[in-house]
Amino acid sequence: MAEARADVPVAPEADHDLEALLEYLRDVRAFDFTGYERADLVRRIDRHIEKVGADGYGAYTSVLEANPGEFAELFDTILVDVTGFLRDNEAWEFVASEILPAMVAERGPLEPIRVWSAGTASGEEAYSLAVLLTELLGEEQFRTMVKIYATDADEAALVEARHARYPTDRVLKAFGQERTHRFFEIEGATSVFRQDLRRSLVFGRHDLVQHPPISRIDLLVCRNTLMYFTADVQRQVLTNFSLALAGGGYLFMGRSEAMAAHTNQFEVVDPNNRVYRRATGEAGGSSHPDPGRAEAMIRAAFEEAPVAQVVVDPAGVVIAVNRRARTTFGIGQDAVGQPLGDLPVSRRPPEIQSLVDEVLAARRPLSVRDVVWMSPSGGQEHFEVALLPLASDGELGVVVNYTPIGG
């Protein structure tokens, strides 16, 4: 049984074991709970460890190592996915009557509207937005003008969200008869959100702590999600939100995270309903950018770099993969935490790991000309592969750049 409890101070050795468990999850399973608010996290992990019957965090780490399915169980316990349609109805009524019409009025008739539901869980929040925007714009305009990005860290929740099937009694309770009949196909005890309108929604896995933000967002809805993070991580995520928002873009938060948004990055639009706007004049001008914002911009620059880049630690384990690398080599964010040698990107050149070792040993860059990458579909691409040593706090890693050659 775990020693740490939410209501008593954590014993130092339990504290150490807990941190070791969190580091194991971050380094080996690529999910970073180290920035989650401790009391709630400890309560959930303890409850789970007790259920599994492991004797403390150290023993539980061994259970995780031995049993590949165990991580999903723990993950499910930690990520609370309670949600609902138009959850916290009053605030949604305010958004429907004041914010959405203002947002639409502020744009040109042909400008697309980009909405992001971050921490969307099983999708109710995203479909609530779809209902309100369709009512405001009409179906044709909604279909052509609106994109709703609905993201979460929990893939299982996203599977439910994509299915769009919910108990009919819950749908009726939230939307009433008329709206339910307009927006859902009722199939007895369950109802499915209309497929033609669903095409404007894009569901995808996105980790608010580790991934760069989606860009040019006009309305960002993030509710009942940031409260799981420590104050530092909340600040970092809010900085990402200010980068995500287009000029004048709105941020709609939940009761729990509202306080975190009281920074100079946002103007308060309505404190009771927790609606904010990206502060104007924030984006340029200042000769001393706030460090959190600068860091987020550097991360975004890595993500958007025009060449494929993979960063590895001294053991050759992948730390980061940018967008171009993911699309070029057909790998996902789950590459993070795996040895570079195990990824398809390493099939050519096969000696990539020994090159990494060489760069680290010599502490100087190396490049290999005309490396041929064979895609799984049989196509060929030619790259110059450059490996550059990185120094950070005395530790070295390597960034591998894949620059395309010729056509």
Ligand X SMILES: C[S@@+](CC[C@H](N)C(=O)[O-])C[C@H]1O[C@@H](n2cnc3c(N)ncnc32)[C@H](O)[C@@H]1O
Binding footprint of ligand X on the chain (CB under 6 A):
79-84, 87, 119-121, 125, 152-154, 157, 207-209, 223-225, 228, 254
CA dihedral 170, 176, 182, 185 (to 10 degrees): 30
Helix axes 124-137, 168-183, angle to 10 degrees: 20
Give least dist CB 79 to ligand X, A: 4
Give least dist CB 220 to ligand X, A: 12
Residue spans of beta strands (DSSP E) within 272-377: 275-278, 308-312, 318-321, 366-374
- When the beta carbons of 238 and 355 are compared against ligand X, the nearer one is 238
Give least dist CB 83 to ligand X, A: 3
- When the beta carbons of 54 and 79 are compared against ligand X, the nearer one is 79
Give least dist CB 49 to ligand X, A: 20
Phi, psi of 32 (to 5 degrees): -100, 100
- When the beta carbons of 35 and 389 are compared against ligand X, the nearer one is 35
Hey, what are 183's tokens?
A: 């927006």
Give least dist CB 214 to ligand X, A: 12
Q: How far apart are CA 404 and CA 281, in angstroms?
A: 38
- When the beta carbons of 80 and 366 are compared against ligand X, the nearer one is 80
Whether omega for the bond prior to residue 349 falls within 30 degrees of 0, making it cis, is yes
Q: How far apart are CA 44 and CA 46, in angstroms?
A: 5
CA dihedral 107, 111, 116, 122 (to 10 degrees): 120
- When the beta carbons of 78 and 356 are compared against ligand X, the nearer one is 78
Q: How far apart are CA 302 and CA 323, in angstroms?
A: 9
Give least dist CB 213 to ligand X, A: 11
- When the beta carbons of 228 and 329 are compared against ligand X, the nearer one is 228
Q: Which residue is listed with tokens 């200042």?
A: 286
- When the beta carbons of 17 and 154 are compared against ligand X, the nearer one is 154
Give least dist CB 251 to ligand X, A: 13
Task: Check: CB of residue 334 under 8 Å from CB of residue 347.
Answer: no
Distances (CA, A) of 252 to 115, 191, 243, 296: 11, 27, 15, 21
